Structure 1
């Protein structure tokens, strides 16, 4: 059974999740890989409740187009994050954006494709991002590392230990929330070579992966809860240049 991201209660539950790891070593590496420091306009495809767009604006002088397919996600985003530098856009049923060709300086996605079981839909999205990027711009995608199945991270666990998941197979992700509760999401398992192939099919070049871990010098929030993250990468960042 899939997670219905169109439900307002799902959007609000997701907003309750505290992204300590993402802030520590996920988002900073994603922004660097996407070349946000060299950009003026950034597309956040699959922006959810706008938390990543907000984080971008803390450290970069850019404008962000925060696009999502879920009206409920955007409703929460517009209620909580009303920065005039963020423009919210509802993605159409055909995955199309209301943007001209070659207008965007950089694009990111965070935990988008792990939520989609249909390989044709994913390919359409990747091709649409390619369309709106200017030549030479970078697309960086942060996702759950498919090689981290069963690893006991602080955030919870992705899938069952010792089990092999096929491409596109449903897999449970449990996210920790304040108060010790957790929210269970149904994700979909996509091996790295599948995403790399999709990027190449769309026309991207210089396709690669980065697997960040918690830096040795990190001394911020949650440090005592993230020993596994120092050696096992919970995330993978796919990078590609138009």
Structure 2
């Protein structure tokens, strides 16, 4: 991530400050509804879901606001967690620092669901991600879902309203990819994300013991009249840009790819 010309690591105070007010329109359109819908099981205060790599708490807030889950929200960045506690405190969310690999305080088969949003793409360490995926498998109850949402490697270089994962026309192997992100005030920051092929994502999951996942289909939003679109002229233009991109190639250009795995003897949906 950069602020001006200075590169920032995700676990720094400056990064947490820079990420405090991102433009969340794509997440609001694509990730949040998918998370609430595809977790599947009836929520309740006795049902525990993990928000793994919670950052500033955006997904955790959705889970308790729309789904009424009890949430343990985990992150490797103490500064991100401080921001989450300040901006998105809730009595059913406990924010906790962890090492990105293990959750030793949780017993086998003790968790009713897990969500991991835009985490794998920010971590360059394959060994850490493999350990994390295996640990999520360990703590999930049989039949409990793991929902993984990340940047879609099939859309590098495609500009959306709030992000562009990689440079237009560039090809990438596994490795670092610059990703400009838009803030709500219209300024941008650039994060250093990490490109991995879909096969690499599948291997993380299957090597941890999950069945082979099937990605959720890209869902283009229904067209609305211009009068019904949000905000002013700039917001409507950004909304139209996303609509157009999502409809290209039959919806194959969704910038955010979602996979839902069901633990152990369950099935993939």
Quick check: TM above 0.5? yes
Counterpart Cα distance in 2 of 1:190 and 1:108: 19
* Farther-moved stretch of structure 1 (83-92 vs 213-222): 213-222
Unaligned runs of at least 5 residues, structure 2: 2-6, 248-252, 264-269
Q: Shift of the alpha carbon at 1:156?
A: 2.9
Deviation per CA, 1:40-80: give whole Å up to 9, x if none: 21110000111110111221121011011111111111111
Counterpart Cα distance in 2 of 1:29 and 1:83: 22
1:16 paired with 2:37, answer no
Does the 8 Å contact 1:153/1:228 carry over to 2?
A: no
Q: Shift of the alpha carbon at 1:117?
A: 1.1
Aligned residues: 241
* Aligned counterpart in structure 2 of residue 117 of structure 1, from 124, 127, 135: 124
1:240 paired with 2:261, answer yes
Equivalences for residues 89-238 of structure 1 within 5 A? 89-92=96-99, 94-167=101-174, 169-217=175-223, 221=230, 222=235, 224-225=237-238, 226-231=242-247, 232-238=253-259
Does the 8 Å contact 2:151/2:257 carry over to 1?
A: yes
Does the 8 Å contact 1:196/1:208 carry over to 2?
A: no
Q: Shift of the alpha carbon at 1:88?
A: 1.2
Between 1 and 2, higher relative CO (CA 8 Å, sep ≥ 6) is seen in: 1
Q: Secondary structure at the match of 1:227?
A: helix
Bigger strand share: 1
TM-score scaled to structure 2, two decimals? 0.83
TM-score scaled to structure 1, two decimals? 0.92
Root mean square deviation, CA, Å? 2.0
1:5 paired with 2:10, answer yes
Structure number with larger C-alpha Rg: 2
Counterpart Cα distance in 2 of 1:110 and 1:21: 13
